[in-house]
Amino acid sequence: MDNLVRYIIVAGLLLCLSSCSNDPPRVRVSNQRQEITDVQLKRSSGTTVNINDVGPGSTTGYIEVSVSPYEVDAKVENVSPSATTFFTADEDETYTVVVLNTTPPTVRVDKP
């Protein structure tokens, strides 16, 4: 009986520790336009993450980014002006930057 109690306590501690992990935020791009699109994620510190050459109608895989506020700038091939929006990336979250098929181009950030 003592072994069973110890096993339950250890299992509970392991479960608690594994659920308390802090994963970095992840971002992907969904291009709903008919043109190739380049997306920049700009931090206030000046660093930029580029997700380039996102094909028409395609969605990229997720990439890890730092916890931070971001300016999103989507540049659609042969279309002006570029589309811009803002979001804050938080730990343990995933985000999809959606480049919408509108005139002029617009962009939004979805959090599932």
Q: In CATH, what number is assigned to the domain containing residue 72?
A: 2.60.40.180
What pTM, to 2 d.p., does this model score?
0.81
> The tokens 């700009």 sit on which residue?
42
Answer yes or no: is 91 within a domain. Answer: yes
Residue with the larger pLDDT of the pair 19 and 92: 92
Please name the residue that has the structure tokens 């979001």.
Answer: 87
Yes or no: say if 88 and 69 are a contact pair by the CB < 8 Å rule: yes
Q: Is residue 64 assigned to a domain?
A: yes
User: Is 45 part of a structural domain of the chain?
Assistant: yes
pLDDT of 56 reads 98
CA distance 41 to 52: 11
Q: What is the pLDDT of residues 33-64, one digit of tens each?
A: 999 999 999 998 889 999 999 999 999 999 99
Domain count, the chain: 1
Owning domain of residue 40: 23-110
- The reply to whether 18 falls in a domain is no
- Beta-carbon contacts of 11 under 8 Å, excluding residues fewer than 6 positions away, are none
The tens digit of pLDDT for each residue in 84-97 reads 999 999 999 999 99
Residue 17, in any domain of the structure: no
In a domain, 62, yes or no: yes
pLDDT at res. 8: 73
DSSP 75: E
In a domain, 2, yes or no: no
Predicted confidence (pLDDT) at residue 4 exceeds the cutoff of 60: yes
Confidence label for 77 from pLDDT (cuts 50, 70 and 90):
very high
